[in-house]
Every structure is written in C-alpha cells, then in structure tokens.
C-alpha cells in the first residue's frame, strides 16, 4: 500500500482571493519519480499551486495530499515532518539575507540532521558545486546576481535530498547555457535519487527536456495534460499557440 | 459608508483581538520545547549587548542632568547632603526604567519591525516554514525572550552609569569622592526601591518585542509597508509602554506599600 501512495495528489482544489478565482476545481496526480512541468500564462496560479503543495496556502475546498497525508488536517509537527521531505525553490529564491549563501544551504542540514559540523559544510559545499556556485559559499545573498540567487535557492531546496522537489521557474534570469545545465541537473536528480519533481517554467525547450508530463493551467483549470507530443496535438488553440510561440525564443 | 464602517469601527478591535491572541501564543510557546536556544542567544546579543553603548551613554547624560536638577532643588532647603540619595532614588525608581524603555522601543522596535517586515515581504518567513521551521517560535519567541531578559540588565546598566554621571557632576562642584558619593546614595535607597522598577521593565520588553513582531509579520505592500511597520512599531510600542507604566506603578505601590511612603 505505502509503496503505491501517489506523492502529490490534488483533489478538486479551489482557491480564491476575494473575487479572483485562482484555482478552480483542480485535480492532479503527480507520480513518483516523475517530473511534472506546469505551464501557463503569468498570473494563472502556478505559484499558488506549488504553495498549496508545501502547505503555505490552504485550499478553500478540496484536498491536498502529499506523501499520502492530507495537509489541511495535519497538526503542526506532522506538517513539519512532511515538509522535511519536500524541497521548495521559491520564484524569488527567498534566501535568508542575514546568512551567507553557504549557510543558507547548510540551514536545513543544521535544523534537521545531527551531522557534525564539517560534514554539514561539506554537503552544503557539494550542493553549491552542483549548481555552479562552488566558490560562493562565503558570499552574502545581496552580492549575488538574480540567476545566482536562484541557483543558491535550488541548492538549499536540494540540501536534504528531499523525496519531492518543487521548483518555481528555475531558469528565470539564467543564460541559455546555465539554464540547460540546471535542466540536466534536475533530470539527474530525478533519475539518480528517484525524486518526484514539479517544475513551473515559461521556458518551452526546458519543459520538453525535463518534463515527463506537462500540465497546462488556464483560468484556474487544468486545460491539458500529457507529454509534449500530446500537448502539441491539443484541441485547445491556446495550448498550441503557447507551445509554438515560446518554442523559438 | 460601509467601507468607513469597516475601517474605523470593525477593524481596530478585531486587530487588537488578533494582537492579544498573538501575545498569548508567544507566552505559551515560550514554555514549550523545542527551545530555539541558538537563535535566542543571537537575539540577546543583537537586542541586549548591542544596546549597551546607547544605554550606558544615555544613562551617564541623564545622571548629569538629574544631578543638576536635584542640586537646584535641594539647595533651597540646605539639604545638599541628600543629593546623591535623591538622585539615585529618582533614577532607579522611575527615570532609569522609563528611559531604557523608550530607548529600547526606538532601537529594537524599529529594528525588529523592519527586519521581520522585510522577511515577510521577501517570503523569507515562508521559506522558514517551507523548511519545516516554526517561524513563530524562531522569529517571535526568541526576540520576546531576549527582550524580556535584556531589559532589567540594561536598566541596571543605566542606573549604574546614571549614578556615575551624577557623581561626575557632583565632584566637579564639591570634589566629593566616588566612594563617599556611592555610600551616601545607598544610605537611603533600599533594595525595594530598585527591584520593582527594574522588574517592571520585563513587561516593557514584552510589549516592545510583541508589538514590533506583530506589526512586522503583518506587513504587506512591499518596501513602503516595511517602513510603515518600523515607524508604527516605535510609536505603538512606546505608547503602550507608557500606558502600561501607569498601571504598573499603581500595582507596585499596592504590592510594596513601603515604597509609597
Ligand atoms: N497572497 C495572495 N493574495 C492575493 N492574491 C494572490 C496572492 N497570491 C497570488 N495571488 C493572485 O493569484 C493569481 C495567481 O498568482 P500566481 O503567483 O500563482 O501566478 P503564476 O501563475 O505563478 O504567475 P507567474 O508566471 O507570473 O509567476 C494572481 O492573479 C495573483 O495576483
Ligand atoms: Mg509564479
């Protein structure tokens, strides 16, 4: 039974802010060890959806199940236990700006493991190297470029080798080469560690490279889901237009 | 009209209620493990230790001024010998605690209001939560404990530098030695003069930390909101503190009747 639990399941999730319906009856399963890429125009609720999956937002109705647990019904300690298995890269990176880049990555390790100090530093250093920031351990976040901050945020999200990794626009602010490197990293993490990935992106080539399943959100609903080929043959002109328009640039 | 009603009639009591719940939660959580000892120590350093220069310098200056005033008053009665005691009494009972309270609400109120406000609007508070950290414990309880612990110590620092300041002003006029001054000061002043005034600053510390944390974590509207939270923290914390002081002084006279004589 526990082997078959879907890592992330949204059941009829609705969320509104005042009069604005952001998620309108969204149901989705994200299978274990697969990468789900979430596409959609700016302001359609992609980030809001990710926030539901770490329990930073609660649905007005419906359920969010992560690793088999209904987040809306969990006690704070139980929620924390689920969150330890989820890595989250915020759209704005959200680094702790009073800590160095390396200490940001070390933060989850210090909080949630009993590793000795040298081991903590070594692991944080490893994760930074993975995202190409090997020489930036001692820098303060304010001294990084936008793209570097994003990568540092990714290193922090991966610090505990979480079972689930949620990534909000990993390639925003990155040049095409670095962006490709990050895509490769995500694919490697998925394949080597069996991590369940959810990636929000506007970058279509990147979506094709990473995504086992692509989900297209439109006006609070899942308009289409499937692999890239399926979305290209979609009956919805908006989906086809979206794939075509951003594919070139 | 309904908008006016909502903003000025319904909202304020609702927010006050919200703040009271927030304060009660801070007290409850302070006694519930796990304790964020490392972070509390860091806040003690930030809030307490880094305030020492300000408090010491202010205490010294207040001591000099108080000395000049007490001299002017007591000279009229030919009671110059009482200057050290009168000054110390005024200092430890009321002036010290109140000045420390106001200085700390300025320095710490603005600092905490702005820091937590900035963390809120840049999603660092959410990032803490997403990292499975209880942000309330980590951010609010640590600052509250640090403030409550630091205040009586800072008050003692101010009392001491105030007495030194008083002596400097005195010795410039009469050449009195420090020891003589100190002994004269404590010939009349008792422990019951010092204790209640100093202990009440723990309440000031609580008010300052809770007000600033509450307003900081409720920040919205970006950078402008951060500035507003900092300003409001200082204003509201000092006002609440001064109001609480009235009640506390009354209470102290009630509990320690001998101090009212
Ligand atoms: N805390 C909030 N309060 C009110 N409205 C919100 C809040 N968070 C998001 N929204 C609204 O929800 C909608 C979806 O926001 P979201 O951030 O999920 O968009 P997105 O799909 O991630 O867009 P982008 O691609 O630009 O990042 C937006 O209209 C936004 O204004
Ligand atoms: Mg977004």
The DSSP line for B64-107 is: HHHHHHHHHHHHHTT-GGGHHHHHHHHIIIIIHHHHHHHHHIII
Residue having the nearest C-alpha atom to atom 24 of ligand 1: A42
Output the CA angle B178-B184-B189, nearest 5 degrees.
Answer: 120
Q: What is the C-alpha separation between B226 and B216, in angstroms, rounded?
A: 7
- B220: enclosing H helix or E strand: none
First to last CA, chain A: 45
Q: What is the C-alpha separation between B109 and B230, in angstroms, rounded?
A: 7
Nearest to A56 among B124, B126, B134 (CB): B126
- The SS3 assignment for B226 reads helix
| Ranges of each domain in chain A | 1-85+162-249, 96-160
> Ligand 1 within 6 A of A156 CB?
no
Long-range contacts of B66-74 (CB under 8 A, 24+ apart): B66/B90, B66/B91, B66/B95, B66/B162, B66/B165, B66/B166, B67/B165, B67/B166, B67/B167, B67/B169, B67/B170, B68/B169, B71/B169, B71/B170, B71/B173
Question: Is A1's pLDDT higher than 50?
Answer: no
Chain B interface includes A80 (CB < 8 A): yes
Q: What is the C-alpha separation between A159 and A154, in angstroms, rounded?
A: 9
Report the pLDDT value the prediction gives residue B137, as an integer from 0 to 100.
95
Q: DSSP letters along B125-157, please?
A: HHHHHHTT--HIIIIIIHHHHHHHHHHHHHHHH
Report the pLDDT value the prediction gives residue A152, as an integer from 0 to 100.
94
Q: Which of B133, B70, B115 is nearest to B219 (CA)?
A: B115
C-beta atoms of A94 and B133 within 8 A? no
Q: Which residue of B has its CA nearest to A95?
A: B124
Question: Is A16's pLDDT higher than 50?
Answer: yes
CA B221 to chain centre: 29
DSSP B34: S
Atom nearest to A41 CA in ligand 1: 25
Report the pLDDT value the prediction gives residue A248, as an integer from 0 to 100.
46
Report the pLDDT value the prediction gives residue B1, as an integer from 0 to 100.
57
List, in order, residues 6 or more apart from B129 with CB less than 8 Å away.
Answer: A54, A55, A56, A83, B135
Left if phi > 0, otherwise alpha if psi is -120 to 50, otherwise beta: which for A197? beta
In this prediction, residue A3 has a pLDDT band, given cuts at 50, 70 and 90, of low
List, in order, residues 6 or more apart from B167 with CB less than 8 Å away.
Answer: B63, B67, B84, B176, B178, B181, B182
| Ranges of each domain in chain B | 23-100+107-260
B136 and B24 Cβ atoms separated by less than 8 Å: no
Q: Which of A167, A164, A153, A148 is nearest to A104 (CA)?
A: A153
In this prediction, residue A249 has a pLDDT band, given cuts at 50, 70 and 90, of very low
Q: What is the C-alpha separation between A145 and B55, in angstroms, rounded?
A: 39
DSSP B35: P
Report the pLDDT value the prediction gives residue B27, as an integer from 0 to 100.
94
Q: What is the C-alpha separation between A31 and A42, in angstroms, rounded?
A: 25
Report the pLDDT value the prediction gives residue A240, as an integer from 0 to 100.
84
B201 and B17 Cβ atoms separated by less than 8 Å: no
In this prediction, residue A174 has a pLDDT band, given cuts at 50, 70 and 90, of confident
Q: Given ligand 1 and candidates A21, A44, A48, A93, which is best to mutate, with the most ligand atoms within 8 Å of its CB?
A: A48
- Report CA dihedral (B135, B138, B139, B142) to the nearest 10 degrees: 150
Report the pLDDT value the prediction gives residue B158, as an integer from 0 to 100.
96
> Ligand 1 within 6 A of A113 CB?
no
Q: CB-based burial of residue B14 (10 Å sphere; 0-12 exposed, 13-18 middle, 19+ buried)?
A: exposed
Q: DSSP letters along chain A, please?
A: -GGG--SEEEEEEEEEETTEEEEEEEEEEE-TT-EEEEE--TTSSHHHHHHHHTTSS--SEEEEEETTEEGGG--HHHHHHHHTTEEEE-TT----TTS-HHHHHHHHHHHH----HHHHHHHHHHHHHHTT-TT-TT--GGGS-HHHHHHHHHHHHHTT--SEEEEE-TTTT--HHHHHHHHHHHHHHHHHH--EEEEE-S-HHHHHHH-SEEEEEETTEEEEEE-HHHHHT-S-HHHHHHHHHHHH-
pLDDT, tens only, B169-205: 999 988 889 999 989 888 888 888 889 999 999 999 9
First to last CA, chain B: 54
**Residue ranges, chain B, pLDDT below 70:** 1-2, 260-261
Q: What is the C-alpha separation between B197 and A49, in angstroms, rounded?
A: 53
Left if phi > 0, otherwise alpha if psi is -120 to 50, otherwise beta: which for A27? beta
Residue having the nearest C-alpha atom to atom 29 of ligand 1: A43
How many other β-carbons are positioned within 10 Å of the β-carbon of residue B250? Answer: 10
Q: Which of A103, A129, A128, A131 is nearest to A117 (CA)?
A: A103
Left if phi > 0, otherwise alpha if psi is -120 to 50, otherwise beta: which for A68? left
Question: Is A141's pLDDT higher than 90?
Answer: yes
Question: Top-level CATH class of A1-85+162-249?
Answer: alpha beta
Residue A47 Cα to ligand 2 middle (Å): 4
Q: How far is A82 from chain B (nearest CA, A)?
A: 8
């Amino acid at each position: 039974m526990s082997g078959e639990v879907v890592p992330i399941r949204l059941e009829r999730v609705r969320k509104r802010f005042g009069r604005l319906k952001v998620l309108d009856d969204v149901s989705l399963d994200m299978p274990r060890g697969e990468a789900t890429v979430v596409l959609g125009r700016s302001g359609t609720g992609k980030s809001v959806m990710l926030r539901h999956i770490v329990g930073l937002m609660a649905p007005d109705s419906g359920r969010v199940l992560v690793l088999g647990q209904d987040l809306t019904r969990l006690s704070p300690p139980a929620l924390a236990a689920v969150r330890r298995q989820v890595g989250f890269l915020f759209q704005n990176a959200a680094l702790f700006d009073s800590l160095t880049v390396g200490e940001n990555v070390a933060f989850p390790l210090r909080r949630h493991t009993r590793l000795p100090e040298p081991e903590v530093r070594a692991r944080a250093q490893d994760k930074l190297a993975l995202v190409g920031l090997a020489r930036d351990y001692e820098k303060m976040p304010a001294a990084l470029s936008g793209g570097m901050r994003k990568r540092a945020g990714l290193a922090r999200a991966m610090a505990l080798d979480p079972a689930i990794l949620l990534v909000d626009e990993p390639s925003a602010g990155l040049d095409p080469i670095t962006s490709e490197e990050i895509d490769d990293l995500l694919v490697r993490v998925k394949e080597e560690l069996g991590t369940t990935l959810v990636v929000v992106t506007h970058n279509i080539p990147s979506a094709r490279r990473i995504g086992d399943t692509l989900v297209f959100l439109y006006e609070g609903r899942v308009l289409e889901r499937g692999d890239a080929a399926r979305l290209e043959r979609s009956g919805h002109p908006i989906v086809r237009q979206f794939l075509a328009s951003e594919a070139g640039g | 009209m309904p908008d006016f009603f909502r903003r000025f009639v319904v909202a304020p009591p609702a927010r006050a209620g919200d703040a009271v719940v927030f304060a009660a939660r801070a007290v409850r959580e302070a006694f519930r493990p796990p304790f964020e000892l490392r972070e509390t120590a860091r806040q003690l350093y930030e809030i307490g230790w880094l305030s020492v220069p300000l408090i010491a310098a202010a205490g010294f200056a207040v001591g000099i001024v108080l000395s000049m005033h007490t001299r002017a008053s007591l000279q009229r009665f030919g009671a110059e010998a009482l200057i050290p005691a009168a000054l110390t009494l005024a200092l430890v009972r009321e002036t010290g605690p109140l000045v420390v309270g106001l200085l700390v609400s300025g320095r710490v109120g603005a600092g905490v209001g702005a820091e937590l406000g900035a963390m809120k609007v840049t999603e660092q508070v959410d990032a803490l939560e997403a990292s499975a950290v209880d942000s309330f414990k980590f951010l609010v309880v640590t600052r509250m404990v640090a403030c409550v612990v630091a205040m009586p110590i800072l008050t003692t620092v101010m009392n001491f530098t105030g007495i030194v300041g008083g002596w400097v002003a005195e010795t410039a006029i009469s050449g009195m030695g420090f020891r003589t001054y100190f002994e004269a000061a404590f010939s009349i002043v008792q422990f019951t003069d010092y204790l209640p005034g100093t202990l009440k600053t723990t309440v000031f510390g609580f008010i300052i930390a809770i007000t600033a944390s509450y307003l900081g974590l409720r920040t919205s509207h970006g950078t402008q909101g951060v500035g507003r939270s900092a300003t409001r923290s200082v204003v509201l914390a000092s006002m609440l503190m001064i109001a609480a002081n009235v009640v506390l002084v009354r209470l102290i006279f009630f509990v320690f009747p001998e101090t009212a004589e």
